[in-house]
C-alpha cells in the first residue's frame, strides 16, 4: 500500500465523526430556535396564571386584618385635626382588656390592622381629641374577628358643654423591697368597665376581682391621649412623699375622656351601638412592674397593682377638663 493510500484510509473515520458532530449541532440549533419563543415571551395563559396567583396571595393576606374609619357621631365626618387613637385589645388572665397593638389614624380617620393572628377576636377601642382641643369619649366594639373585616364608620361622641377638654388622672408609684428601694419600670393604664348587656348598671371594680365566665361586664384599657406620661422608671427617691421610706418613686399622668364609653356589638356583619351610661365616668388605674430598662419578667410580687379611689378615698371619677389624683400605688415585694 502506498503512503498516500494509507493516509487516506487513516483520515476516513475522522471525517465520519466530523459529519456526525456537524449534524448533531445543526439539530440542536433547529430545536432551540423552535423553542425560543416560549422562553422569550410568556404565553397569555402563563401571564393569567401569574396574575391569578398574585391576586390570590393578596386576597389571603387581606383576610387577616381589621379596618374602619373613626367619625364624629353627630356629623358623620372625620374628626378634624388633633389625634385619633385606635387600639386592639384582648383580655388577660384577670379578664381585663390590655392593649395588643395600637395606631394613630390618618387624617381621614381611617385605620387598618394587618397580619393579625388568625382565628382570634379583639375588642377595638378608639379615643380622640380634635384639633380644637375637644375630647371624644371612647367607643368600644367588642368581639371583632381578625379574619378580614371592615367595621365601616365607627362613631365617637364629642363631650358636651363649653368645657369639653379632656381630663387627667395623676398619681404616684413607689417601689421597695421592705428594707431598701427598688429600681423598676412601670407602665400605667386607665381602666373603664363597660356593660355587655343593655340596661345593666356597672360599677368599676379593681381588675383582679372581675369574674370572666358568664360576665356581663368587661374592664377595658382606655388608650392614653396626647400629654400622657405613663411609662416611667422608678430609680430615685426624688419626689417621694415625705412619709415614704426606703422606696423609689415616680409620677404618672394619663389624659383620658371624662365620659363613659359607647359600646358596639357585631352581629351579622353589622355593628350595633348603644349610648354610653350617664355620668359619672368612673375609672381605675392599673400599674404593671417590669425589669428596669426592659420589658422582661416581673421583679415584683404581685407583678401589678391597682387603685380605684382618689386620694380622699372616694371613687376615681373624672370631670371635663379636670384632674383627679389617684391613691398612691405601692410595690413592696420587689428586689
What confidence tens digit (pLDDT) does each residue in 91-107 have? 999 999 999 999 999 99
State the pLDDT at residue 269.
84
State the pLDDT at residue 20.
42
Nearest Cα to Cα of residue 327 among 225, 242, 252: 252
Given the C-alpha cell 373603664, which residue does it identify? 192
Rounded to an integer, what distance in angstroms lies between the CA atom of residue 156 and that of residue 171? 28
Q: In terms of pLDDT, which residue wins out, 15 or 35? A: 15
DSSP lists the bridge partners of residue 175 as 248, 331
What percent of the chain lies above the pLDDT cut of 90? Answer: 62
Nearest Cα to Cα of residue 304 among 161, 175, 214: 175
How far is Cα of residue 38 from the mean position of the Cα atoms in its chain? 48
DSSP 131: T
What percent of the chain lies above the pLDDT cut of 70? Answer: 74
CATH H superfamily, domain 60-331: Immunoglobulins (2.60.40.10)
For the chain, what is the mean pLDDT? 80
Give the pLDDT mean for 298-322: 93
Render pLDDT for 48-86 as a digit per residue (tens, 0 to 9): 233 333 333 333 444 579 999 999 999 999 999 999 999
DSSP 244: -
Whether the pLDDT of residue 194 is over 90: the answer is: yes
CB 258 within 8 A of CB 160: no
In sign, the C-alpha dihedral spanning 275, 284, 297, 186 is positive
Under the banding of pLDDT at 50, 70 and 90, the label for residue 22 is low
Joined together, the cell numbers standing for residue 214 give 358568664
Whether the pLDDT of residue 119 is over 80: the answer is: yes
Under the banding of pLDDT at 50, 70 and 90, the label for residue 18 is low
Whether the pLDDT of residue 287 is over 70: the answer is: yes
Whether the pLDDT of residue 34 is over 60: the answer is: no
State the pLDDT at residue 249.
95
State the pLDDT at residue 297.
58
Q: In terms of pLDDT, which residue wins out, 60 or 212? A: 60
State the pLDDT at residue 62.
42
Helix, strand, coil abundance in the chain, percent, nearest 5:
20, 40, 40
**Lowest mean per-residue pLDDT among 4-8, 196-200, 309-313:** 4-8
Rounded to an integer, what distance in angstroms lies between the CA atom of residue 105 and that of residue 67? 10
DSSP lists the bridge partners of residue 150 as 67
State the pLDDT at residue 233.
94
SS3 282: strand
Rounded to an integer, what distance in angstroms lies between the CA atom of residue 227 and that of residue 252? 11
Amino acid at each position: 500500500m502506498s503512503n498516500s493510500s494509507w493516509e487516506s484510509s487513516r483520515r476516513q473515520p475522522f471525517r465520519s465523526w466530523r459529519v456526525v458532530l456537524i449534524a448533531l449541532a445543526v439539530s440542536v440549533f433547529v430545536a432551540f430556535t423552535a423553542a425560543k419563543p416560549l422562553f422569550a415571551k410568556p404565553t397569555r395563559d402563563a401571564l393569567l396564571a401569574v396574575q391569578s396567583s398574585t391576586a390570590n396571595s393578596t386576597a389571603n393576606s387581606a383576610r387577616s386584618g381589621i379596618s374602619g374609619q373613626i367619625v364624629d357621631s353627630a356629623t358623620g365626618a372625620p374628626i378634624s385635626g388633633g389625634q385619633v387613637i385606635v387600639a386592639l385589645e384582648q383580655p388577660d388572665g384577670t379578664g381585663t382588656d390590655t392593649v395588643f397593638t395600637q395606631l394613630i389614624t390618618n387624617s381621614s380617620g381611617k385605620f387598618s390592622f394587618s397580619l393579625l393572628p388568625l382565628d382570634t377576636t379583639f375588642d377595638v377601642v378608639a379615643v380622640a381629641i380634635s384639633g380644637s382641643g375637644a375630647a371624644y369619649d371612647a367607643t368600644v366594639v367588642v368581639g371583632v374577628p381578625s379574619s378580614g373585616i371592615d367595621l365601616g364608620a365607627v362613631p365617637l361622641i364629642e363631650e358636651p358643654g363649653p368645657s369639653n377638654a379632656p381630663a387627667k388622672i395623676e398619681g404616684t408609684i413607689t417601689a421597695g423591697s421592705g428594707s431598701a428601694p427598688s429600681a423598676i419600670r412601670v407602665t400605667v393604664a386607665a381602666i373603664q368597665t363597660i356593660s355587655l348587656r343593655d340596661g345593666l348598671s356597672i360599677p368599676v371594680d379593681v381588675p383582679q376581682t372581675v369574674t370572666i365566665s358568664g360576665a356581663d361586664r368587661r374592664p377595658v384599657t382606655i388608650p392614653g391621649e396626647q400629654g400622657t406620661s405613663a411609662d416611667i422608671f422608678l430609680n430615685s427617691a426624688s419626689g417621694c412623699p415625705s412619709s415614704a421610706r426606703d422606696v423609689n418613686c415616680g409620677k404618672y399622668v394619663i389624659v383620658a375622656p371624662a365620659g363613659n364609653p359607647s359600646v358596639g356589638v357585631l352581629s351579622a356583619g353589622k355593628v350595633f351601638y348603644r349610648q354610653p351610661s350617664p355620668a359619672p365616668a368612673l375609672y381605675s388605674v392599673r400599674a404593671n412592674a417590669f425589669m428596669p430598662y426592659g420589658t422582661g419578667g416581673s421583679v415584683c410580687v404581685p407583678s401589678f397593682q391597682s387603685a380605684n379611689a382618689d386620694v380622699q378615698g372616694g371613687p376615681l371619677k373624672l370631670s371635663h377638663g379636670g384632674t383627679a389624683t389617684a391613691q398612691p400605688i405601692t410595690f413592696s415585694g420587689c428586689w
